[in-house]
Amino acid sequence: MWGRATAAAIPGFLLSAGVTGLVCWLLPGPWQSTLVAGIVSFLAVWMAAMALAFQFRSGKRAWAWFSGGAVVSLATLWLLQTLQWVR
Amino acid sequence: MKLKSNTLRTFTSVHTWVGLVAGFALFVAFYAGAITVFHHDLQAWQTPHAPMSTEQGLNDAQRLLDETLARHPKAREHVGMVFPGGEYPQAASYWQDASGTWRYATLDNLDGSDKMPGGALSELVNALHYSLGIPVAGQYLMGIVSLLYGLALISGVVIHLPKLADDLFALRPGRNLKRFWQDAHNVIGVLSLPMHVMFAVTGALLCLVMVVMMALNPLIYRGGLMAALGPAMDTAPVATAAGREQPMGSLAMLHSRSIEVARAQGLVSFEPAYFKLAHAGDANATIEISGESPGSLGPIGAVAMNANTGALLATQLPGSRDANHATLASAYALHFGEYGNTWVRVLYFVLGIGGAFLFYSGNLLWVESRRKRRQLEQGAAQLGMARATVGVCIGVCVAISVAFIATQLAQWPALRIAGDIELTIKTACFVTWALCALWAALRPPVRAAQELLWAAAVTTAFVPIAHGLVTGAWLWMAAMKGEWSLFAIDAGALAMAFGFGWLARATARRARDGEANSVWADPRARAAQATSKLVTGQE
């Protein structure tokens, strides 16, 4: 249980940030216009991710999947921002 | 829908443990929060004199603003103020001093103080609601509790999902009391689910917004969040001082200009509630007047003007605002029930009390499902849980009612209680709460439950009596004068007192007639019952 709970809290947080960030930046219009909605929905996304963490068979798997997802989503966002494909 | 038994088991234990960890804090938050829905009415209730006679007007507001700006140079940079009338009987101004501390001034206290005006009782109940009354750390604690609460909701829905339709309307009273409580817990949980989801998200938002923003800023906003925040949250464009002096327009002119602007945008009504003023006395002074336009989900909107000339700068009004302002206004209004009329607030009150019941019943279910059926002695965990539930949950109900009574008595000239009223009622509240917890720790749980429920019934029934005694605004007097908010608080207290009495009697019945082997069974009451049945020849 502890493995999955910590996965919910730490990589779950980063994954939720990555997913929310991607949605907010990929929506049409400047990123500033989704600021408040982004922060509100981040909390909802994180709660869902926390619940999802308990679906994994073990804490290790939860950590692995969530960490991988966080790296992929945050790196994609960073790349898109750097290339100025989103603004 | 069919779930794997493994999933079901995992989510059941997630629901149980998250519920136990967060349940106590959530009970306090919901019970105090239900009362906080009537925050402004409570401010009138705790004012010793007739609230109507002290209501101020725009001239008083102007006088307060002039004095604040003259006495406090820091306020000239940024100052906020509530308009008197309607929700706030008194004008109050607020600003941050050189060290960043918020200062508040009223016409009675022009030098300003660190305490928010409006009343110690409504502030205490509000503080219990958002921080359990714990300074600084309490707010973050409640933010984490809100996140756990969200997790408890999701896991609760998952374990309930397979039987959702069957169970929803199955409230099965009868011999199996545990099943009845389980049904009640499920029905209330599912029927008020949308509201609970909204509270979990907006509650976490209100408590953790600064922390979350600081964490998200480098992660997804590339460090640009703080600079973007002003334009996203404020209506007035960020302006720098011109360095040229110019006299400010009158509040009366700006007040009526804001209504005019809202009318021109098609809003039937706009009631200015508060304003933010930047660079007062400068040529570039801006004012942002916020007000309510009833009939919209996010009723708070704002009009920004040049504070000297009243020239329009920008608006964020219902029906014509950007996504940021619409989301913020809706999230805020949804959490506080500030849309619609009084009935929405009554509904929030009922749902709040229902939410408190949800956490209380959750704890009872935990105790019941670990009941040792074949022995009178119950485990230490069940006993501890029963004691904590009784001491914390029923204790806070007693403590809040005592704080209500203390507020009135402390202001009663006949008693000549001197000293800081805020400290008096805080002490009354927390000492009562601690005593209740101690009582629950020392007595058998079922006896403590009955005694504390009766204590809650008696103290709550005494709330309208203390109010009448001290202010002369007895229940019927308030009704005759048409002061319905005062009447509603006193009548509500009476209704709650009956509720506590009913619960106390139900608990006594459980102790006497319910299943024998439980922390909620009372062998002495059962024995007395058996003897009386023998004597009267029943059965």
User: CB distance A1–B204 less than 8 Å?
Assistant: no
CB within 8 Å: B220 and A20? yes
Query: What pLDDT, on the 0 to 100 scale, is given for residue B332?
Result: 84
Beta carbons of B296 and B259 less than 8 angstroms apart: no
Which of B7-21, B67-81, B484-498 has the weakest average pLDDT?
A: B7-21
pLDDT of residue B52: 46
User: What value does the mean pLDDT of chain B take?
Assistant: 86
For residue B225, the model assigns a pLDDT of: 85
Q: Please state the pTM of the whole predicted model.
A: 0.89
CB contact A56 to B (< 8 Å): no
- Per-residue pLDDT at B539 exceeds 50: no
Q: What pLDDT shows up at residue B147?
A: 94
Whether B433 shows a pLDDT value over 80: the answer reads: yes
**pLDDT value for B419:** 76
pLDDT in tens, B51-107: 445 667 888 899 999 999 999 989 999 999 988 876 677 788 999 988 888 899 988
Alpha helices per DSSP H over B411-520? 421-442, 445-471, 475-481, 484-513
pLDDT, tens digit (0-9, with 9 covering 90-100), for A25-77 = 998 888 888 888 899 999 999 999 999 999 888 889 999 999 999 999 999 99
| Chain B residues with beta carbon closer than 8 angstroms to that of A55 | 7, 10
Q: How confident is the model at residue B329 (pLDDT cuts 50, 70, 90)?
A: confident
Instruction: For residues B211-238, give the mean pLDDT.
Output: 85
pLDDT at B27: 95
Chain A closest-CA separation from residue B195 CA (Å): 14
Beta bridge partner(s), residue B290: B274, B302
Task: Kindly write down the DSSP assignment for every residue of B272-312, as one continuous string.
Answer: EEEEEEESTTBTT-EEEEEEE-SSSSS-EEEEEEETTT--E
The confidence band for B537, taking pLDDT boundaries of 50, 70 and 90, is: low
B225 interface with A at CB cutoff 8 Å: yes
Pairwise pLDDT comparison (B109 vs A16), residue with the higher score: A16
B322: chain A residues, CB-CB within 8 Å: 33
Tell me what the mean pLDDT of segment B456-467 comes to. 96
How far is the C-alpha of A55 from the C-alpha of B14, rounded, in Å? 11
Angle at B108 between CA B103 and CA B110, to 5 degrees: 45
Whether B176 shows a pLDDT value over 50: the answer reads: yes
pLDDT, average across residues B506-515: 84
* Closest CA of chain A from B356, distance in Å: 21
Q: Is B215 on the interface with A (CB under 8 A)?
A: yes
- Highest mean pLDDT: which range of B115-119, B281-285, B523-527: B281-285
Query: Among the ranges A4-13, B305-314, B354-363, B397-406, which has the highest mean pLDDT value?
Result: B397-406
Phi (first) and psi of residue B243, to 5 degrees: 85, 0
CB contact under 8 A, B204 and A43: yes
ipTM more than 0.90? yes
pLDDT band of B171, cuts 50, 70, 90: low
Confidence of residue B169 (pLDDT cuts 50, 70, 90): low
- Model confidence at B476: pLDDT above 60: yes
Q: Which pLDDT value is given to residue B174?
A: 65
Question: What is the residue whose two structure tokens read 């938050």?
Answer: B29
pLDDT at B255: 92
